[in-house]
Every structure is written in structure tokens, then in C-alpha cells.
Structure 1
Amino acid sequence: MSQALSRSLLNRSALPLMWCAGCGNGIVLNALLCAMDELDMKKENVLIVTGIGCWGKADDYISANALHVTHGRALAFATGAKAANPELNVVVLMGDGDGTTIGGNHLIHTARRNMDLTAIIVNNLNYGMTGGQYSATTPSGSITSTSIGGNPERGFDVCGLVSAAGANYVARESVSSGMRLKNRIVSGIRKKGFSLIEAMSPCSTLFGPRNKMRQPVEMLRNLKEKAVSQAKFDSIENAEDQGYFVAGVIADRNIHDFSTRYEAEREVIMSARGRK
């Protein structure tokens, strides 16, 4: 973390980290801090928006403007902040329960609008902070506190959903991917429009032990094994049922973002009014 520590982006006064041993949140935090450092982002121009959950505590450790909001509503508040001050670099930090289950509707419409925000969803496949209930991303058959006989529902593909809804940049990596995660965050922040980076992470206290992975190292090895390219994913029979997921860039396009479209339409309206 030396690169991140070379700047004042890490709030040392909040250390040590509150997360469980083996949790991937610290890795994602480091990747974000290093990305901000690489982009030479000034903390005065950065707004970190977080919801509720384990990853929602990340704003405590970042020395920048922060907005900690209600469960599932981080993207709604972030949209308002960006619309009010388009010059802000707004980064939204959510878990799978916060961002895709409770906040799923906001996720869809933020992508549809193509708001110029960067969202980082840490997906540990359950509600890690509130007791290990299953979420919208929990794989079918998984054991959780609310599915002791196995989750009867299908988990959905977060990146596929956001890409289909219209986001400009969508990528997925696991916390075992090293600095590739940092590189995806850099690309997401640089991209104009809505960017989503999904970070697959172990829940070492609840999800892992309930699903035959007793030690964090087992979960990290599993994530490394299951993260594959699109080509390899397509070649594996019933890949999703076996826990495989596509890692890398899912979408990278240049559709006009909300602010650009809004300003263009405003100019048309103002010009029309001027002619009356």
C-alpha cells in the first residue's frame, strides 16, 4: 500500500480496519486508493458516497468528502450530488445487498441515465454485516442464514444487468486478481458516463464457512480458479452452475452521459426561449 500511503488519501486516524480477517474489503480499498493516487485526484474534488453494509464503512478510511446514506439509496444521493456539482468526482461504494438487492432499481436507472459516476460493488454473495442472509447475487443452492436448505433462487449477473441498462464502462475482477482491480477502477473513473466495477470478494465469517470453505485462503483460491475469460466461460458446460464467472472488461463504449445530454437540451430550450 506504499503508493497509497504516500498521499493523504488514507485516513490513518481510523485504523485499524474494522473488517474480519480474510475479508477482501481491504484489498479493494487499497486498489481504490492507488487508483486515486495514480489519477492525481485531489481530495477536495472527490465525493465518496456509501450505503449500509461492511463495504459501506469504507468511507471511514478515505480522506475525502464523504456522504454515508441509507440502505440501498447510495446511487440516488450520488446522482443528486453529481447533478448539483458536475465537477465533482463521485465514487459510490456498495455491497451486493446494498447495491443490487435493496438498491437494484436505482442501479438500473443510474445506468440507464448514464450518470457520470463510478460505482464499486463488492460482491461477497450475501448480506455480510446483518447476519448472512442471501442477496440477489447469492448462487442457487448456497447455504445462508435465510436459506439453510440451499438458496432456491437464481443469483443474477450484476455486470450483465448494468451493461444491458446502458452503462458506458462495466468490468469485473476478484480480489485475488492483484493490481488488475486497480486498473479497472482507473479506467472506470476516467470514463465519462456511468462506470461499474464489480469486485468478487470472500465473506470469511459467514458465507465461506457455511459453504465448505472454512479458511480465507480456500475462498481466495476458489475466486482465482472461478474467474475466467468470456471465451473460457463459454467453453465450460453449465459454467454458471459450477460457480464460474467472467472477469475482465464487460462493456466499454462512449454513449453521451446524462450531464452532456442535459446541457445540450438546456441550450436548445434557452435558445428557443430567446427567440420568443
Structure 2
Amino acid sequence: MRSEEHTLVEEELISKKDEPVNKSAEITNTPESITAEEHLIAEKPRCLDEDYEMVYHKPKTMVDVSMHYCPGCAHSLLHKLIMEAVDELGIQDKTIGVAPVGCAVFAYDYMNIDMTEAAHGRASATATGIKRLLPDSYVFTYQGDGDLAAIGIAETIHTINRGENIAIFFMNNAVYGMTSGQMAPTSLIGMKTTTSPYGRDVHEYGEPIKVSELISHLPGSFYVTRQAVNSATAVRKAKKAIMNAFKYQKLNKGTCFVEIIGNCPSNWKMTPLEASKFIDSEMIKVFPLGDIKLPKGEDLKLLEEVK
């Protein structure tokens, strides 16, 4: 049964339907009605004009998909730098990467090269087998501080001690990112994590492990460097180090190890900007940037030939 209220509403709608439209109430797109800000938004993108030149684009070695990383995470930057190096060196079809367990476990979804997955901490052992079977390939591992410096420290040390001709890219953000922010071997003294809520205690957990300095003493390490990605200058230096690590594989002289100091805003409980500043104010004090082990003598002359 229809209510009196419904009948009145219908009659009102029917009467309004026959009323003339109020033109003054219409939304117009005349220049006078558009603000300066709206005009800029509506304007044709300048990068599409023929008068402008494209100065940056995603390399073909990167898959054109969105990444799963948190805002401000350094992993996405390192992915891009490694793939830019592969693209610029023209070695896409010859490069094989090994993904870790951790935040970067899905690296194979973003890198448009041959990739494989390793068991937790065993990336360098997996890379060893690949390189020995395919010695002409460029082989690298991508690992975080939990994967490389904790559960995988044995594989890391023995791989480098043997001088396996691979590149290892090590992301050091001082925390276990994927599993909710537990203390890592590289967590700073006093750093609060889910497993050290009062801060890392040196008497209980020891000092942060400086992996680059540790492995630089092994005879099989050929090139060892530590860089960062929290500024434009740092990014350029990091990319140069990554390029070197690939180039040096041609010499078959040993393992190249590139440590990258990155941030983890989510587990550091900081904004991306605060996390980037924390790298300069705290992380680099413990993990100083720069080349730790460089080729010498005859090897240095050979390097000039491959550049």
C-alpha cells in the first residue's frame, strides 16, 4: 500500500521535471570560472609537447607494475639502480638475479631479467651454482640484513672466501622489515625493535656487525664498497658502485660486494624524510660510506680495459 508521503514526493518530482532549467546554476568551463590552479591541472602535460625532450624513463629492464614496498622504502630505489645498470651495460639477456627471503622476496616481479628464488639465506650458494654452470653470465644476489647477515652469514662468508665470481647487493636497513621489525645483526646500539623494545643492549646482543669490513679481509673478495641512497649525490655514487660490480665480473677475480645503507620508515616509526635524515645522523656513524677494498696493481690496469 502506497503511503501519502510517497505520493507527495512523486508529485513534486513530476512538477519539477516540467520547470525550465536555471542556466545560471549550471557548472561552466569558461576561463572565468576556472581558477589558476585548475587551469594548470587541465592544461596539456608539457612532457607531451614536441618542444620538450624526455630526460628520464623507466628502463626496459624494469617491469611496468606498481611495487609493494612501503612509501619511502629504499628497496625500490635499489631495484631501479641495479636494473638501470643492467640496461646501460647492455647485458639484460646475460644477467641472472637471485631473490632473497624478506621484503625483497618479490624482486623477480619487478626485474625484467632471468630471476630465481633461493631458500632463506642461501642466495649466494644458489648464485654459486648458477655461475659455475653459466660462467659467461652476469650473476648477482639481492639480499637484506636478515637474509645475508643472520641466517645466511655462513653461506655469505664461504661464498666470498672461495672468491665466487658473482656480485652481491646487500641492503642494510638495520631491521627485519617483512616480519614486523625485529632486531637485525645490523641494528644500532639503543635502536628499539619488536625484539629489543628497550633498545639494543651491547652487553646482551653485542655490537652491530659490519659485514663489509668483515668480508673485506677474505682473500676471495675483490671489490667491497658501502654506499647509500638517501640523497641525489648518494644515489649517483651507489649506481657507479653497482656498475663496477657488474663490470668486474669480466675479470673473474673474485666476489664483488656492494652494501647499501637504506631506510625502513615503517619499522623505524618515522616519516620517509625523517628516515633519510636518520641515515646521515646515525646510520653512517656506525657504517661509514666509501670504498673498503679496491683492485690494485695489475688488476687495476685490467679494469681500465673493461670500462
Normalising by the residue count of structure 2, what TM-score does the alignment of the two structures yield?
0.72
Deviations 1:83-132 (A, max 9, x none): 11111110110000001111001111111111110110111101100121
Equivalent of residue 152 in structure 2, options 103, 107, 119: 103
Q: Does structure 1 residue 191 correspond to structure 2 residue 241?
A: no
Identity within the alignment, %: 29
Q: CA deviation at 1:227?
A: 7.0
TM-score, with length taken from structure 1: 0.79
The C-alpha deviation readout for 1:121-162, integer Å capped at 9, x for no partner, is 111101100121111111122111111121222111011011
Residue of structure 2 in register with 1:202 after alignment:
263
Q: Paired residue for 1:181, among 211, 233, 238? A: 238
Of 38, 42, 54, the match for 2:88: 38
Structure 1 residues 121 and 4, CA gap change in structure 2 (3 angstroms): farther
Q: Describe the SS at the equivalent of 1:173.
A: strand
What are structure 2's unaligned runs of at least 5 residues? 1-53, 300-307
Query: For the Cα contact (< 8 Å) 1:19–1:25, is it kept in 2?
Result: yes
SS at match of 2:124: helix
Paired position in structure 1 for 2:208: 155
Q: How far did 1:74 drift?
A: 0.5
1:172 aligns with 2:223: no
The answer to whether the Cα contact below 8 Å between 1:79 and 1:110 also exists between their aligned partners in 2 is yes
Q: Tell me the equivalent position of 2:69.
A: 19
Structure of greater relative contact order (alpha carbons < 8 Å, 6+ residues apart): 1
- Where does residue 224 of structure 1 map in the other structure? 280
Residue 130 of structure 1 pairs with residue 179 of structure 2 = yes
Measured at CA, do residues 81 and 256 of structure 1 come closer, stay the same or move farther in structure 2, by a change above 3 Å? farther
SS at match of 1:191: helix
CA distance in 2, matches of 1:178, 1:31: 8
- Structure 1 254/66 Cα, relative in aligned 2: closer, same or farther at 3 Å? farther
Deviation, 1:59, is 2.2
Shift of 1:224: 3.3
Gaps of 5+ in 1: 229-242, 258-276
Q: Structure 2: which amino acid aligns with 1:191? A: Y
Q: Matches of 2:297 and 2:96 in 1, distance apart?
A: 24
Aligned with residue 80 of structure 1, among 117, 129, 133: 129
Q: Which amino acid aligns with 2:79?
A: L
Q: Offset at 1:4?
A: 6.2
Which runs of structure 2 are paired with 1:244-263 in the superposition (5 Å)?
A: 244-253=286-295
Aligned-pair RMSD on alpha carbons?
2.1
Could you give the per-residue CA deviations for residues 72-91 of structure 1, whole angstroms, max 9, x where no partner exists?
A: 01111110111111111101
